[in-house]
Amino acid sequence: MDSIEGDVRRFMADNFILDESAGPLDGDESLTQSGVLDSMGVLELILFIEERFGVHVPDEDTLPQNLDTVDRIVGYVRSRLAEGGGNGAL
Choose between 40 and 82: whose C-beta lies nearer to other proteins.
40
Q: Contact positions toward other proteins, by CB under 8 A? A: 32, 35, 38-40, 42-44, 46-47, 59-60, 62-65, 67
User: Which burial class, exposed, middle or buried, applies to 4 when counting CB atoms under 10 A from its CB (0-12, 13-18, 19+)?
Assistant: buried
Report the alpha-carbon distance of residue 1 to residue 40 in Å, rounded: 27
Least separation in angstroms between residue 34's CB and other proteins is 11
Report the alpha-carbon distance of residue 69 to residue 72 in Å, rounded: 5
Least separation in angstroms between residue 54's CB and other proteins is 16
Least separation in angstroms between residue 25's CB and other proteins is 18
